[in-house]
Amino acid sequence: MDMNNCAVKAEHVVIRFNMASEKIDNLKEYFIKLVKHELMFKEFLALNDVSFEVKKGEAWGIIGVNGSGKSTLLKAICGILKPYKGKITVNGSIAPLIELGAGFDGDLTARENIFLNGAVLGHDKKFMEQHFDEIVEFAELRDFLDMPIKNYSSGMAARLGFAIATIVKPDILICDEVLSVGDYAFQKKCEKRMNEMRAAGTTLLYVSHSIESVQKICDHALWLQKGIVKGAGNVDEIAKQYMDSLA
């Protein structure tokens, strides 16, 4: 693929975690075993030889049952996790919506967190001041601006996070189940904004357990099962293969 037209390319990516193979009840026992080189770990491959390519402007839904490696893949694309083997190439700026509350301080108010989260995404104070009202209006949280984020529901936090992340048009928008906690009306509002961003050229990577939502928003799909790619291509074809496997 011409890299000028490529947004994301994963080549034989392996993400490895070490899991303790024995139960250690206290910190003292842990350090004793560590010093004696008696700690035993079991290797777990969250992603195993994952390869796929996303062209600029495409929308990919990443599907699979819990524990398939979907969120791990998104974190690797965002640079949060580094591959044990293989390579991930990202061509463009990323707006990540991976975990609810990421970039928020629970003890700060929503007003303060707007500027904090904006800084995390690389926006300066002046930019956030210029777009403050637009963020608040989209999130529909003007009456709760001076409430600490820790008192927000998951849906309210998702609204604010989405509003901040999509205030500018990123090259790549990454969404991991964050819309599932919002009410129906807000989900429709978010889908509309994502479609507008896609029309303007933004690439979308979207994780959801709702196959209907994936088929509505995306044109391609990647099916993961226990960290292995089971299928990649046209969203309707991959969705059918996935649903048939569940049946």
Q: Are residues 84 and 124 in the same domain?
A: no
Q: Are residues 240 and 176 in the same domain?
A: yes
Q: Are residues 119 and 19 in the same domain?
A: no
* Residue pLDDT, tens place only, 132-179: 999 999 999 999 999 999 999 888 888 898 888 888 888 999 988 766
Q: Are residues 85 and 184 in the same domain?
A: yes
Q: Are residues 127 and 113 in the same domain?
A: yes
Tokens 């402007």 found at: 57
Q: Are residues 153 and 189 in the same domain?
A: no
* Residue pLDDT, tens place only, 75-116: 999 998 999 999 999 999 888 877 655 678 989 999 999 999
The rounded mean pLDDT for the chain is 87
The pLDDT assigned to 43 comes to: 79
Distance CA 47, CA 75 (A): 12
∠ Cα 34 37 42 (to 5°): 85
Q: Are residues 48 and 154 in the same domain?
A: no
Burial of 107 (0-12, 13-18, 19+ CB in 10 A): exposed
Listed residues 112, 136, 169: the one ending a domain: 169
Q: Are residues 24 and 119 in the same domain?
A: no
Q: Count CA atoms closer than 13 A to 156's CA, side-chain side.
A: 16
Question: Which secondary-structure segment (H or E) carries 226?
Answer: none
Listed residues 133, 150, 169: the one ending a domain: 169
The pLDDT assigned to 194 comes to: 86
Q: Are residues 194 and 78 in the same domain?
A: yes
Query: Based on the structure, what is the number of domains in the chain?
Result: 2
Q: Are residues 87 and 175 in the same domain?
A: yes
CATH number of the domain bearing residue 141: 1.10.8
Q: Are residues 123 and 204 in the same domain?
A: no
CATH number of the domain bearing residue 229: 3.40.50.300
Q: Which residues contact 222 (CB under 8 A, 6 or more apart)?
A: 52, 60, 61, 62, 63, 229, 231, 232, 238
Contact 52, 229 (CB under 8 A): yes
**Structural domain range at position 113:** 101-169
Contact 60, 77 (CB under 8 A): no
Listed residues 134, 149, 169: the one ending a domain: 169
Contact 11, 3 (CB under 8 A): no
